[in-house]
A and B are shown apart, each in its own frame.
Chain A
Amino acid sequence: MSGTFKWLALKAGTALGRSVSSLFYQLIYREIYREINRLTLDATKTVSDAYKLGFLAAEESAERQKGVFRLFPSNPEKILEFVPLMWNIYFGQPMAEYTIEWDRSDPIRPILRYKILIDPMTFDIGKDVVRDNLPWEKLWDGENAYGSMMAGLLTQCSSYVLALRKSDQRITLKNTRISLRGDDYFEFECQIIPKEELPYFQLGDLPVSVHPDSSEHSPDDDSPMNKLWMKITENIDIDLLDKMLDDPTAFLREVLGRGIEKGLKMPALDFLDHFLNDEEKFIQVFGFLEVHIFNEWGQIPEKFFENETFAKICAHQFLLMRKNADKFIPLTLIQETLDYSGDVLEGLASEAFITNLQAISPEKAVELFFLGMEKALTDLGIDFSALKPTLYADLQKEPENEPGSDESLDKDYYALRKEKRQTLTAQLIDHALLLSSVILSFPGQLLLVLAHKVLSGSNELIRSFFTTIRDEGKILFELSEQLKEFSEL
């Protein structure tokens, strides 16, 4: 529970919630069991019915906390890691002194056991001889003990999150051990199951709804804010947010990984494995994609290239940039990016792939990038094979004789002059083109440097920002709670 966003989710989940003395909670819990037992006259059935009651009671509450639950991950194993957070949201205090134990003997239905030493529901039970008189030993239905109502409640809560995140799996919790039956600790057995296996409970045909006129009725689900929140939480969850802050490269890694999975319908590792020992192609793909993605915005480059003259100008400009790449992109920046890519790709690509990628020199990487761009530009209509050596030559019309020249006498002289003039003009055009390209691309270069620095360095800043918010927020929260206590008493 050290994550900033887990803390924020906890506060969002509990800030508007109502809390009572833990002793009142323990005693009303006892009394609910007493009343159920008075009706069933059967301790086993009491436990089963209490489980259903907890399950149904949490449904309405989960519905109201939908916004917070949307931030939870969709992976059931991750949800199980969040049981202490849910415990904290539901019971208002941290799950204390616990250990966990995985049982994966059934891979379809893995079990995570939380062994919890401190169970406030049982403190001093038995000391009030007159009223602590439930048949504690008999409160066992083969799956659950006295904690069944809590188990039902958390089963609803965790399965609600998975249903909200459109998962095909659900989670059931069972209270399999408790000190009241002689166990040394309280145990929650949390099992991942296919959604079809989740038990279905209902209380007959009785409506379980809030009066529509109630002033506290939950907000309309179709509100623009709710829609926006749904959109955001489709791609972001607490786990990702906390990972972003804990690991400076996690954000890019997650975005890249999810993008590949979403776009190519295959895990990033499988996709990048296609480029193993062919890492040069991988860099070419970036250049290739850059041009095509740019072209996707209205196919403007493709339309311009239909004009032969414009296509030739662009082709020469591209070749000039390629020849003078070091004037556009600092090689040290490329080296840093290659180094940084190793961190980003960790877990997404094999170690061999990363090693090979980082072995490519910055000069080679730039050349490969331009090679990819060239292929894309060819796709869009530029014919590099038909280009003359200079832009000037390409734009020259059919050769004309110098006006008033005497072919017989001055042929060599004029030919030499003409050739020299053409060479100078071609050089002039090339350098003017280069100069204008450098000037025009400066904001782009600046953005490239900034983007690199931001991506590789800003997480430190963001992490520090959120850590401060969390730490100071905690202090403020605790102080305001204390202040409230003092002002009320």
Chain B
Amino acid sequence: MNSPPSESVESGQEKHSRKELITQKMGFNQMRNSIYILQRYMNQHHLSDKDIRDRLINMGKNIGATFVTQLETSPKDLSLLLRNLYKITVNSKVKVEVVGDSIIVRDSRCSLCKYQYDDISVPGCNIIIAMISEMLIRLGYQVTDQSIVQSKTFGDKLCEHRYVLKEVEQK
């Protein structure tokens, strides 16, 4: 399998790290589509909607766990931290609001939800809420619940994510 590289190709991969990738941007339209094709693939393997949701949540947790190791700062202001995490990871400019014991995040350009499909009932942004929760937990916060209130996948105009944190409940 391994053969010597051509003369003009030199080794240089070592200098590239995940840290460098944080600030770089990649087009995501096709990858967003891939998530919905993946859901159909899971469906073919007889996974229920709940199973599919659990798998997306698992994906998000794994992404958050690896991603957070590359972050160096974490603002103490929770709203600012959430805005930063959405911006740094999925390049979303979100609105954050504390409502009762919850924090509501509204994303009008969710990177994982854009279209409403006839055959899809699990929003792709389950990956995002799981990722953000995992990052918050690893940054020292106590997240007790996370859910999707609205989603473009359901035909809503925006995606609305709800996080319940002990820190907010105690206030």
Contacts and interface: CB of A to CB of B under 8 A. Distances in A.
B59 A31 contact: yes
Contacts of A26: 18, 21
Given A20-B28, A23-B70, A204 B12 contact: no
Contact of A211 (B4, B62, B117): B117
Contacts of B116: 210-211, 213-214
A269 to B, nearest CB: 34
Contacts of A99: 6, 8-9
A131 B65 contact: yes
Given A34-B59, A203-B41, A90 B24 contact: no
B41 A21 contact: no
A53 B44 CA distance: 13
B73 interface: no
Contacts of A56: 37
A196 interface: no
B25 A21 contact: yes
Nearest to A92: B27
B89 interface: yes
Nearest to A31: B59
Nearest to B5: A184
The size class of the interface chain B forms with chain A is 35 or more
A17 B28 contact: yes
Contact of A28 (B63, B65, B69, B115): B63
Contacts of A208: 37, 40
Contacts of A131: 62, 65-66
Interface residues of A, number: 74
A149 B34 CA distance: 9
Chain B CB within 10 Å, residue with most, of A27, A29, A181: A27
B22 interface: yes
Contacts of A30: 62
Nearest to B24: A22
A22 B21 contact: yes
Contact of B22 (A14, A23, A35): A23
Contacts of B9: 99, 115, 117, 184-185
A117 B6 CA distance: 11
A20 B91 contact: yes
Nearest to B44: A204
B155 A91 contact: no
Contact of B2 (A17, A24, A182, A207): A182
B44 A28 contact: no
B13 A21 contact: no
Interface string B131-171: 00000000000000000000000010000000000000000
Interface in A8-48: 14, 17-32, 34-36, 38-39
B33 interface: yes
Interface string A79-91: 0000000000111
Contacts of B65: 128, 130-131
B39 to A, nearest CB: 10
B25 to A, nearest CB: 4
B159 to A, nearest CB: 13
Nearest to A62: B30
A48 to B, nearest CB: 12
Interface string A179-203: 1011111000000000000000001
Nearest to B80: A489
Contacts of B98: none
A203 B33 CA distance: 14
B33 A18 contact: no
A122 interface: yes
Nearest to B55: A35
A423 to B, nearest CB: 83
Nearest to A59: B33
Interface in B101-142: 109, 111, 114-119, 127
Nearest to A123: B16
A42 to B, nearest CB: 13
B21 A93 contact: no
Given A35-B38, A118-B16, A18 B27 contact: yes
Given A61-B33, A206-B40, 17 more contacts: A18-B91, A18-B111, A20-B91, A21-B24, A23-B21, A23-B70, A23-B89, A56-B37, A57-B36, A57-B37, A61-B30, A92-B27, A117-B9, A181-B2, A184-B9, A211-B116, A213-B116
Interface of A: 14, 17-32, 34-36, 38-39, 49, 53-54, 56-58, 60-61, 89-93, 97, 99, 101, 115, 117-120, 122-124, 127-128, 130-132, 140, 149, 153, 179, 181-185, 203-204, 206-211, 213-214, 216-217, 488-489
Interface of B: 1-2, 4-6, 8-13, 16-18, 20-38, 40-45, 55, 58-59, 62-63, 65-67, 69-70, 84, 87-91, 93, 109, 111, 114-119, 127, 155
23 contacts: A14-B27, A19-B91, A21-B89, A24-B67, A31-B62, A35-B58, A54-B34, A57-B37, A92-B28, A99-B6, A99-B8, A120-B26, A123-B18, A132-B66, A179-B13, A185-B9, A203-B37, A206-B44, A208-B37, A209-B117, A209-B118, A211-B115, A213-B155
